[in-house]
Structure 1
Amino acid sequence: MEKKYLFESTSFLRVILLLSLFVILLIGGFTYRHIANLKDSTEVVVKTYKVNVELEHIVSYLRDAESGYRNYIATKDTLYLKPYLNASEKVNSSFLKLKGLIKENSQQQENLKVLNILTDSLFSNFYKSNVFVKNNETNTEAFRTLYFKEKIIIDSIRRQSNTMFDLENKLLNIRQEKYQSDSQFTPLFFYSVLLVTLILIIIAYNKISIDLKHIKAKNDQLLIFKEATNQSEIIGKHGNWIWHIESNIFAYSDNLYRLLGEEPQSFEATFDNFLKFVHPEDMEKFSKDLDKMIKVEELPITNYRIIQKNGSIKYLKTYAKSFYSVNGQKRLIGNTSDVTYEIEGILTLEEHNLKLERNNKELSAFNYAASHDLQEPLRKIQTFISRLEEKEGNKFSDSGRQYLDRIKSAATRMRLLIDDLLQFSRTNKPDKEFISSDLNTLFENAKQDMAEIILEKKAQITGDTLPIATVIVFQIQQLFSNLLSNSLKYSREETVPIIKINYSKVKADEEPDLIKASKSLYHKITFTDNGIGFEQKYTDQIFQLFSRLHNKKEYSGTGVGLSICKKIVDNHQGYIFAKGEINIGATFIIYLPVS
């Protein structure tokens, strides 16, 4: 699996974009906060200015009132009372404005209350001293006390105003320091945040650029794959289609049109348009198969015929499987192949098999007739030869006697050939029953069949104990008989035949001769003799039908015996091999599968 680093993933790009959006929102938040602080600071400055102005107004109004009142005392001119009379209304107006400006400052509200009391005290003192002025009692001790008290109240008002001035300016300085601190920090913070944002955007841009290159490369690969798929469809004679079930929309590949004998995308891809090509005899079956598409996840392989516009009939095979898209919509993707050559090949093969079966039956009948029907005239020939030899034998000339012996020998060989053909024909019969049998018993039965020639040649036969195996009984006994007969027949003159039989159970992968074996375990039976042997180059030839390595005058035989052995071993899905050396002997190795 290809290793994928974090910065190469799409999730990493999403994280960067989200971080960038967060930073932008953060900058917006701080900007809003900074503007709000600036607005608050501006409002504080304006409010402080207004408070100071109103305080100045109060002090100024009271000074004017005091100055006018003193001039009135000195001149007794009522014109000087005008500032005094207007001051009360103006001072009250300023007090109302101050209450609104300092409503959020409890300390200033307390200071304003004190200032209000002092102001009221001042006007009360003006009112009391005015009585003395009207009565011309300004030289009395009581008037001087009130006049002195007026000065004290004015000084107290002035001090209280200064206290409120100082407190307001102090608050203003504190807020200005905070604003200046924020003003100094904000540019640095904005620059840092913008720098980080720029870095993130550069990283995101780089990632997007890399992704675009990868997407372009993938698109190139997809184009190559698409073209390769088109070529594969053309070569493989198949086409693809997709059915969007919910929207009932079909999509056909170009080669599917070609399978129908049409140009790519030459008609609208719909179910009804496709049905126009289906063979009428296959229409019902084809429709039923397609009805199963929506109900089942997979559509079994369905075969049907189509008729192209030029009249050609093609055999098609279709397979489909459903799947769900990322948005949950069900779709069916299918593959349609042109199997015309396969179907025609199968039909041709079936026809050939039928012909071969008929030929085999005819050959079997001919073989049976030839083998059995020839025996009757052959028996008559042998009988007449025997009678002719008994009754007229002494009347033959030497050449006549020689001709008679040749006729007799030919008839005997004909008898052997017919018997061997019958045996070979039996090995080809289909009714072969496999039975679990003791091979030692079958081998003893074969020895009994050959008992006369064994005694005649004084042959020595030794061997290992053979296993119990599942075999066709009469064929395995025939196999043993033929191998014994072969060893006895081709023994050397004036040499006692020695035949050894060895057995072992072997694994196929441990035997050099069993490279292409289909089973894993085999019974290995080896026949070894000390006869005339044969050249190793003839090892395959000796198993061929009617094949002989020796002159028929030297050794009797028809060339069928070993062919029968090969056929019997083949019937048991086994193997037989032969090895020989001239005047040393022959070895036959048999492998029978362990069932």
Structure 2
Amino acid sequence: MKRTILKSERFLKAIFGASLFVILCIGGFAYQHIQKLVMSFEMVEHTYEVNVELEQILSYLKDAETGQRGYLITKDTLYLQPYYASRENANNSFARLKELTIDDKEQQNNLKNLSFLIGENLSIFDKSLKYADKNGTNTAGFYALLKNGKQTMDNIRAAISKMISHQNELLQIRKKKSNESLTNTPLVIYSVLIITLVLLLLTYAKINKDLKILKEKNIQLEIFKESTNQSEIVSKHGNWTYYINENRFEYSDNLYRLLGEQPQSFPSTIESFMEFVHPEDLENLQKQVDKMIKEENLPFIYYRIVQKNGNIRHFKAYGKIIVSNDDQKRLLGITSDITEEVENYRLLEERNLELERNNKELSSFNHVASHDLQEPLRKIQTFISRLDDKEADNLSEKGTLYLKRIKTAASRMRLLIDDLLQFSRTNKSEEVLEATNMNLILENAKQELAETILDKKAKITSDAIPVMTVIPFQAQQLFINLIGNSLKYSKKELAPTINISYCKVAADDVPKLKKPKYSNYHKLTFVDNGIGFNQEFAEKIFVLFSRLHNKNEYSGTGIGLSICKKIVDNHQGYIFAKGKLNKGAIFEVFLPFK
């Protein structure tokens, strides 16, 4: 049995799902590290940009100083051109620096100091020029200005050097982070490198193809064109192009075939096409076409056409604008024949309605049949009781045995009908989810089982359970069935103990939750010290009418745990069973955390 289960289709799907989940996790992990790596590279590049701009500012100031000196020596205004240009470039670099260091408070403060020094330096330049023009260069005042200018330039160099040092410190930190990111993503980088090398090799191979290969490609293109035409026929779609600048249409051959005509049998104009449109859809389609021509866009539209033989076909069309290098606009469109899809959809709707009706009829039949069976069963049990009370002494030994078996069979029939009724009531569509005090639900369930709990001297412990969004009646039935199952399959010589624990879990942390619809779940765990079961039957016990024990050993119909499974499914949850023979059983219930 165990080998059969392991080889089952469900097990294979489970293995595939687990493998896919692991691959997705690895992909997400790799993506996260690549993002960190990209960010670290950007930060390193940002540091280099700041350093370059700082060096540029110093260079521009030197150019300005050189232009000033050239003018002072030669009195040629030509030297003032680089002087003024350098000042403007320095201002631009300074603005760029301010933008680059906007998130660095220390560098912002340094920039304020640098701005002051640059302003002071440029002011000294201006004063020196004016002073030299008025008083000449061979004066004490001029030398004093030069000295101040030199001192200011030294201060600027020191300030820039300080800022560069700060950026270099940041650069070392960012390089370290970049190296860490690199070491964390070697597999990704290696894979990208391999793919890149393959692409480069393929590109190199294509570039080096000679004229003969090019001719072969042209032949292949012709073959591809023909295969495209064939694919249009097979997939029942046709292409059309609207040349916006020329206000003309061009239809593919298969578009004509979709209309029931021979290729190119009539002019490819919108007026000719409209002659095939169903009269009820003509006005709406004309509005869509006018809107398409005006807005140069065509979203998905649906309409019908009438072929000349009277057949009505359903079409779907879509268009997308394409602009070539010479500004020629074209609207490329695809028109598909979706008649079979429409008919299949209608057929599917009909079958769904039929299935829904059948389900309702089946549920109604199950419910009515179960109720109607109770009346004759009550009469049978009544006559059995009278026979037992008044005629038992007149029966032979075999008659007494037969009567006992009839009573047992009638009791089992009563239990089976009650369980069938309970199973039929477990229908999500008939109940409403609501916030529910689960501790109160648990207490109600224990009250339902109070007589059995007292008879078996059972001990039930539980954690505090938070409010959950559930169907109250079904949640109570879930508790009753799970606790009742533990009580039923308890050891005769040992008082049963049942522990109910609660915790909140993330779906990603529980691999056995296949394709979870929610991020988090309530987890309820029922642990008992009963007779347990072999783990190979962990899924079979939830199957309707499935029993692991002879009916003479333990009472029951094999429906109780099936009801539990149906209730959990109604809540879009999961239920799992684990057991060890003569050691006990564990039932895990996962309900969505809403």
Same fold by TM-score greater than 0.5: yes
Mapped partners of 2:441, 2:477: distance in 1? 9
Mapped partners of 1:374, 1:297: distance in 2? 70
Mapped partners of 1:406, 1:280: distance in 2? 76
Counterpart residue number, 2:347: 348
CA displacement 1:319-366 (0-9 Å, x = unmatched): 224456666666433211121221121011011112112212221221
Q: How many angstroms does 1:577 deviate by?
A: 0.8
1:497/1:530 contact within 8 Å kept:
yes
Counterpart residue number, 1:250: 249
Counterpart residue number, 1:482: 481
1:508/1:515 contact within 8 Å kept:
no
Mapped partners of 1:226, 1:580: distance in 2? 64
Q: How many angstroms does 1:484 deviate by?
A: 0.6
Which has the larger Rg?
Answer: 1
Counterpart residue number, 1:540: 539
Q: For residue 268 of structure 2, what is the amino acid of its counterpart?
A: A
Mapped partners of 1:296, 1:413: distance in 2? 74
Q: For residue 344 of structure 2, what is the amino acid of its counterpart?
A: G
| Deviation larger for 524-533 or 380-389 | 380-389
Q: For residue 338 of structure 1, what is the amino acid of its counterpart?
A: D
Q: For residue 442 of structure 1, what is the amino acid of its counterpart?
A: I
Counterpart residue number, 1:384: 383
Secondary structure, counterpart of 1:500 in structure 2: strand
Structure 2 residue 274 is matched with structure 1 residue 275:
yes
Secondary structure, counterpart of 2:554 in structure 1: coil
Q: How many angstroms does 1:482 deviate by?
A: 0.3
Q: For residue 549 of structure 1, what is the amino acid of its counterpart?
A: L
Secondary structure, counterpart of 1:385 in structure 2: helix
Counterpart residue number, 1:370: 369
| Deviation larger for 328-337 or 540-549 | 328-337
Structure 2 residue 520 is matched with structure 1 residue 502:
no
Mapped partners of 2:267, 2:294: distance in 1? 25
Mapped partners of 1:311, 1:537: distance in 2? 62
2:507/2:519 contact within 8 Å kept:
yes
How well do the aligned residues superpose, as a CA RMSD in angstroms?
2.9
Mapped partners of 1:450, 1:361: distance in 2? 32
Structure 2 residue 589 is matched with structure 1 residue 594:
no
Mapped partners of 2:592, 2:466: distance in 1? 12
Instruction: Assess, with a 3 A threshold, how the Cα gap between structure 1 residues 228 and 510 changes in structure 2: closer, same or farther.
Output: farther
Structure 2 residue 520 is matched with structure 1 residue 525:
no
Q: For residue 304 of structure 2, what is the amino acid of its counterpart?
A: R
Q: For residue 592 of structure 1, what is the amino acid of its counterpart?
A: L
Structure 2 residue 591 is matched with structure 1 residue 583:
no
Mapped partners of 2:232, 2:585: distance in 1? 58
Counterpart residue number, 1:174: none
Q: For residue 299 of structure 2, what is the amino acid of its counterpart?
A: P
Q: How does 1:363-512 map to 2 (within 5 A)?
A: 363-512=362-511
Q: For residue 499 of structure 1, what is the amino acid of its counterpart?
A: I
Q: How many angstroms does 1:572 deviate by?
A: 0.8
1:509/1:515 contact within 8 Å kept:
no
Identity %: 63
1:499/1:529 contact within 8 Å kept:
yes
Q: For residue 410 of structure 1, what is the amino acid of its counterpart?
A: A
Q: How many angstroms does 1:458 deviate by?
A: 0.9
Q: How many angstroms does 1:558 deviate by?
A: 1.0
Q: How many angstroms does 1:456 deviate by?
A: 0.6
Mapped partners of 2:215, 2:401: distance in 1? 99
Mapped partners of 1:231, 1:536: distance in 2? 56
Q: For residue 441 of structure 1, what is the amino acid of its counterpart?
A: L
CA displacement 1:196-249 (0-9 Å, x = unmatched): xxxxxxxxxxxxx99x98999997887676456445534443222122346441
Mapped partners of 1:538, 1:252: distance in 2? 64
Q: How many angstroms does 1:308 deviate by?
A: 3.7
Secondary structure, counterpart of 1:333 in structure 2: strand
Q: How many angstroms does 1:593 deviate by?
A: 1.4
Counterpart residue number, 2:302: 303
Instruction: Give me the TM-score of the superposition, normalised by structure 1.
Output: 0.60
Mapped partners of 1:267, 1:591: distance in 2? 65
Counterpart residue number, 1:317: 316
Q: How many angstroms does 1:590 deviate by?
A: 0.8
CA displacement 1:410-444 (0-9 Å, x = unmatched): 22111111111111111125132111122222111
Q: For residue 440 of structure 1, what is the amino acid of its counterpart?
A: N
Mapped partners of 2:538, 2:420: distance in 1? 22
Mapped partners of 1:455, 1:323: distance in 2? 80
Q: How many angstroms does 1:298 deviate by?
A: 3.1
Counterpart residue number, 2:66: none
Q: For residue 497 of structure 1, what is the amino acid of its counterpart?
A: P
Mapped partners of 2:304, 2:346: distance in 1? 15
Mapped partners of 1:378, 1:291: distance in 2? 74
Mapped partners of 1:583, 1:273: distance in 2? 83
1:501/1:528 contact within 8 Å kept:
yes
Q: How many angstroms does 1:373 deviate by?
A: 1.8
2:323/2:330 contact within 8 Å kept:
yes
Mapped partners of 2:220, 2:496: distance in 1? 77
Secondary structure, counterpart of 1:513 in structure 2: coil
Q: How many angstroms does 1:300 deviate by?
A: 3.3
Mapped partners of 2:552, 2:587: distance in 1? 25
Instruction: Assess, with a 3 A threshold, how the Cα gap between structure 1 residues 429 and 376 changes in structure 2: closer, same or farther.
Output: farther
CA displacement 1:239-290 (0-9 Å, x = unmatched): 2212234644111123323323344334321223223333344333333332
Q: For residue 272 of structure 2, what is the amino acid of its counterpart?
A: N
Unaligned segments of structure 2, at least 5 residues:
1-206
Mapped partners of 1:513, 1:574: distance in 2? 12
Mapped partners of 1:358, 1:579: distance in 2? 38
Secondary structure, counterpart of 1:578 in structure 2: strand
Secondary structure, counterpart of 1:332 in structure 2: strand
Mapped partners of 1:232, 1:459: distance in 2? 72
* Number of corresponding residues: 387
1:476/1:568 contact within 8 Å kept:
yes
Structure 2 residue 338 is matched with structure 1 residue 339:
yes
Q: How many angstroms does 1:533 deviate by?
A: 1.6
Counterpart residue number, 1:572: 571
Mapped partners of 1:492, 1:234: distance in 2? 71
Mapped partners of 1:217, 1:521: distance in 2? 58
Q: For residue 521 of structure 2, what is the amino acid of its counterpart?
A: Y
Q: How many angstroms does 1:297 deviate by?
A: 4.3
Mapped partners of 2:434, 2:325: distance in 1? 61
Secondary structure, counterpart of 2:516 in structure 1: coil
Q: How many angstroms does 1:312 deviate by?
A: 4.1
Unaligned segments of structure 1, at least 5 residues:
1-208
2:428/2:570 contact within 8 Å kept:
no
